[in-house]
């Protein structure tokens, strides 16, 4: 069976299981896909829902982009410089285990509850994971590759462009995928705290007699994550095809 066939089979089995569980619990507790799909169509038919989702994604993408711009060079610096590692690693170790929800009250006092608050939450949720992934990649560059460059008299700039960057690129692309996952989660968490955007929609649908509208919103958010990961995976295959060829699982 092809990869597409296996993925389709996996989705179909999951939907069948969801349908069976949903019918057992009822739409009031856990709506089945047969009830969620019409609710999703109704949501998509409302122009304000798509506008709200677009505004939420705008704040999320702004925070995510800023996290990548800050975290990637810092991760590289930490991985390639012992001084940078000693200066920044304690902060990385501290903040990566700190829940972003813990700083929500402080950020509300500082930034209010608008665009900048949501952007800051997304930034803080994503930046440390992107930095850690890039840092591990920068530390894991094979020393023999650098020794070959030095043996041929390569300059520092040439070594960085032709050896370090190609070795780092797969880790940067993985960091982008990890970061977007945390960014989407943080967007929902931030908006649930202040009841704006998608968070407000989730809060409001929670009072419905059926869970179908709420699950439809969750499906919509999950679809955003799936699309983002598919696009980043396609980018990885274009920019670093050597990194995906050996990570693909082999069939027995």
Domain boundaries, the chain: 34-241
pLDDT at site 252: 46
Give the predicted TM-score (pTM) of the model: 0.86
- DSSP per residue, 80-108: H-HHHHHHHHHHHHHHTTS-GGGGHHHHH
Token output for 17? 């299981």
Give average pLDDT by consecutive 10-residue segment, the chain, 252 residues. 79 91 87 90 84 92 96 93 92 90 90 92 95 92 74 73 82 93 93 90 84 91 91 85 56 48
How far is 32 from 216, CA to CA, in rounded Å? 10
Q: What angle do CA 221, 8, 240 make, to 5 degrees?
A: 70
Give tens-digit pLDDT for 168-188: 888 999 999 999 999 999 999
Domain spanning 34-241, CATH class: mainly alpha
pLDDT score of 242: 66
Contacts (Cβ under 8 Å, ≥6 apart) of 85: 78, 79, 135
Q: How far apart are CA 31 and CA 209, in angstroms?
A: 11
Q: CA-CA-CA-CA torsion for 202, 203, 209, 211, nearest 10 degrees?
A: 30
DSSP, residue by residue, 1-63 = --HHHHHHHHHHHHHHHHHHHHHHH-HHHH--HHHHHHHHHHHHT-HHHHHHHHHHHHHHHHH
Tokens of 238: 């274009």
The Cα–Cα gap between 195 and 25 comes to 28
Calpha distance 22→67 (Å, rounded) = 39
What's the pLDDT at 246? 45
């Amino acid at each position: 069976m092809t990869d597409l066939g296996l993925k389709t089979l996996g989705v179909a089995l999951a939907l069948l299981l969801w349908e069976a569980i949903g019918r057992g619990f009822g739409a009031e507790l856990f709506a089945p896909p047969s009830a969620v799909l019409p609710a999703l169509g109704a949501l998509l038919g409302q122009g304000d829902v798509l506008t709200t989702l677009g505004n939420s994604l705008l704040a999320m993408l702004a925070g995510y982009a800023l996290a990548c711009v800050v975290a990637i060079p810092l991760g590289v610096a930490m991985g390639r410089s012992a001084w940078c590692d000693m200066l920044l690693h304690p902060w990385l170790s501290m903040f990566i285990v700190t829940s972003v929800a813990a700083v929500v009250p402080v950020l509300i006092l500082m930034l209010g509850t608008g665009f900048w608050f949501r952007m800051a939450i997304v930034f803080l949720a994503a930046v440390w994971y992107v930095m850690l992934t890039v840092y591990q990649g920068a530390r894991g560059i094979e020393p023999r590759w650098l020794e070959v460059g030095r043996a041929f008299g390569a300059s520092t700039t040439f070594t960085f462009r032709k050896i370090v960057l190609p070795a780092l690129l797969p880790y940067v692309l993985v960091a982008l995928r990890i970061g977007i996952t945390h960014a989407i989660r943080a967007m929902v968490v931030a908006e649930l705290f202040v009841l704006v955007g998608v968070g407000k929609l989730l809060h409001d649908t929670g009072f419905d007699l059926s869970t179908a509208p709420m699950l439809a919103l969750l499906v919509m958010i999950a679809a955003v994550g799936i699309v983002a990961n598919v696009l980043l995976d396609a980018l990885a295959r274009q920019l670093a095809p050597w990194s995906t060829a050996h990570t693909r699982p082999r069939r027995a």
